[in-house]
Structure 1
Amino acid sequence: MDVVTLGPDEIRAAVSMPAAIDAVRDAFLALHRGEFEMPTRTVLRDGGFLVMSAHHRPTASAMIKTLSLDFDRDPAIAGTVVWSELGHSRQLVADATEMTRIRTGAITGVATDLLAPPDAKTCTLIGAGGQAADQVRAVHAVRPLTELRIVSRGLERAEALGKALGAELDISAVVLADPDEAVRDVDIVCCATTSTTPLFSPESLAEHAHVNAIGAYRPTMREVPDDLLAEATVVIDEREAVLEESGEIIHALAARAITQDHLLELGTALAEGVVRSGGRTVFKSVGVAIQDWAIAGLLARTSAR
């Protein structure tokens, strides 16, 4: 058996953000067509360990990701992604930290391209952890930004991130302390935190704003408030996963701020379009295995050349 092992630098060199966005978009369209087997992920130790898997029937390919999460260490995510195909004995093993950053950014790019105003150019990022930079890279790939605002409890980390992204993407980046001030009048908001309470008030958002909420992945976590979900067009990554894991959605349903009919899966939205009136939009993701399958597939094809 031939095993190809890829570390963070090799993954980053092989996969551009535009390519990752395209691959993840295609994967969600394939999910909508019923091409995947994708069990709900296994969660151990209250989210300390996660196991995710996906099988794409048409290509007889599969991906399994195992990882641990500890937000008191850096990086918080550690693990491996394994890619296999029935027609080949070769296996690809890749670093899960870098894969997760890229695939989480990529799904934000897909959702932003679908839901944000076509002329959007300003973004607020709440959170400056390991997922943060690729959130901005993905947004910039589909809506070229001129201004970035960053809010984080770690001021030095936020300033370092702003300086790095400003230079990399050639955009203006500032750090603000107040989330409500930071989201005011911007086109796009990206939330990448482990918060257990909503990060900002809906009244602070522009009427046309699009919000990506990707940080909260457990029922005890929340980044966006019920009132925003109630009045916005809400797109989710996958219904079963969100109903089991998204604290925002679980809380809003329990409070009767929304019903399940309020939730539109990303694959359906991509295939059939989104009906909206120009108001606020929210994309809620807890992360699903086909995202990792999509990026692993890119790596497998690149390494086979």
Structure 2
Amino acid sequence: MKTISLGEREVRAAVSMREAVDAVRRGFLGLAGGEFEMPTRTVLRDGGFLVMSAQHRPTGSAMVKTLSLNFDRVPAIAGTVVWSTLDRPDHLIADAGAVTALRTGAAVGVATDLLAAPDAGRLTLIGAGGQAADQVRAVHAVRPLRALTIVGGDRARALADTLRTELDGTEIRTATDPAAAVGDADIVCCATPATSPLFPASALPAQVHVNAIGAFRPTMRELPDELLADSTVVIDELAAVLEESGEILHALRSGALTRDDLTELGTALTAVPAPPGKRTVFKSVGIAMQDWAIARLLADKYLP
């Protein structure tokens, strides 16, 4: 039996964002087609510890991720992703922080490619934590960015300096007021642990695509009800958001949304596109299939 262990550097070297987006897109289509056995994740200490698992029926492969999450430390996410298959005893173990950032960004890339205007090129990113850079990389992979605004303090300025070396030709600036920063955006990415909406719906342009990945517990909320009520809303998985998404749960309770207003991303990928000119929202709490998709890429490269 062979066990391969991969740190953040090895994970990053093996998987590009473009590969991650393509793999996660295939995963969402497979999920819609019933290919996955995927329990709702186990949450302990109100989100301080998470356990996620997925089994891919066609390949007999499985992924289990365990992590701890603490926004007061660096890195905020620490843990492992374990990959195994039925046909061989070998295992792959990968850094959960790197896999989580890649797969979260990749899901946003899939949704943005589907829902954002074809010529969208102005991104406003709210939040500059561990998930932020891969939000930008994923959007840039599907909609080359002309302008990027990062909302935050010192961490936003540090992230802007890092991304300038990657996004040649993109105008990059920082801001401190989320409501003012989203006013001319084509795409907005929210990656914060907020417990109340980051901006009013009225601050947004008439046509905009919004990704919200930061709030992953019922007590957290990045988006206002008014935005959800006035948008085409796509989610990662219904069972997951009904268990964990503060935005969706609040909007359902207030009557701003009904369950019929929610479309899973895998279904949306095969459906008629949203009408042009309408606001669109992708709300994700993160599901195990996404981790499986990245782990499979790593296994294909390190466990041939």
Unmatched tracts of structure 2, length 5 or more: none
1:183 is aligned to 182
2:220 is aligned to 221
SS at match of 1:123: strand
1:167 is aligned to 165
String of CA shifts for 1:93-145, please: whole Å, max 9, x gaps. Answer: 00001000100000000000000000000000000000000000000000000
1:156 is aligned to 154
C-alpha separation in 1, matches of 2:274 and 2:97: 35
C-alpha separation in 2, matches of 1:215 and 1:276: 27
String of CA shifts for 1:182-223, please: whole Å, max 9, x gaps. Answer: 000110000000000000111111111000000000000000
1:298 aligns with 2:297: yes
How far did residue 167 of structure 1 move?
2.1
How far did residue 88 of structure 1 move?
1.1
SS at match of 2:87: coil
SS at match of 2:218: coil
C-alpha separation in 2, matches of 1:55 and 1:244: 20
2:95 is aligned to 95
2:120 is aligned to 120
2:57 is aligned to 57
How far did residue 77 of structure 1 move?
0.5
1:142 is aligned to 142
Code of the residue aligned with 2:252 in structure 1: it is L
C-alpha separation in 1, matches of 2:22 and 2:206: 28
Code of the residue aligned with 1:85 in structure 2: it is T
C-alpha separation in 2, matches of 1:74 and 1:274: 39
2:38 is aligned to 38
SS at match of 2:123: strand
**More displaced, 134-143 or 201-210?**
201-210
SS at match of 1:39: coil
C-alpha separation in 1, matches of 2:48 and 2:297: 28
Code of the residue aligned with 1:163 in structure 2: it is D
**More displaced, 263-272 or 133-142?**
263-272
Code of the residue aligned with 2:164 in structure 1: it is G
SS at match of 1:268: helix
SS at match of 2:166: helix
C-alpha distance 233-15 of structure 1, shift in aligned 2 (>3 A): same
C-alpha separation in 2, matches of 1:12 and 1:277: 36
C-alpha separation in 2, matches of 1:304 and 1:260: 42
Code of the residue aligned with 2:286 in structure 1: it is G
C-alpha separation in 1, matches of 2:273 and 2:220: 27
2:22 is aligned to 22
1:81 is aligned to 81
- Number of equivalent positions: 303
1:234 is aligned to 233
Code of the residue aligned with 2:42 in structure 1: it is T
Code of the residue aligned with 1:39 in structure 2: it is P
C-alpha separation in 2, matches of 1:284 and 1:276: 19
C-alpha separation in 2, matches of 1:91 and 1:271: 34
C-alpha separation in 2, matches of 1:207 and 1:275: 14
Give me the CA root mean square deviation: 0.8
How far did residue 278 of structure 1 move?
2.3
C-alpha separation in 2, matches of 1:120 and 1:190: 13
1:270 is aligned to 269
C-alpha separation in 1, matches of 2:285 and 2:254: 20
C-alpha separation in 2, matches of 1:186 and 1:275: 19
1:245 is aligned to 244
C-alpha separation in 1, matches of 2:243 and 2:43: 11
Code of the residue aligned with 1:121 in structure 2: it is G
String of CA shifts for 1:78-99, please: whole Å, max 9, x gaps. Answer: 0000000101111000000100
Unmatched tracts of structure 1, length 5 or more: none
Code of the residue aligned with 2:167 in structure 1: it is L
C-alpha separation in 2, matches of 1:291 and 1:45: 23
C-alpha separation in 2, matches of 1:243 and 1:291: 18
String of CA shifts for 1:3-25, please: whole Å, max 9, x gaps. Answer: 01100000000000000000000
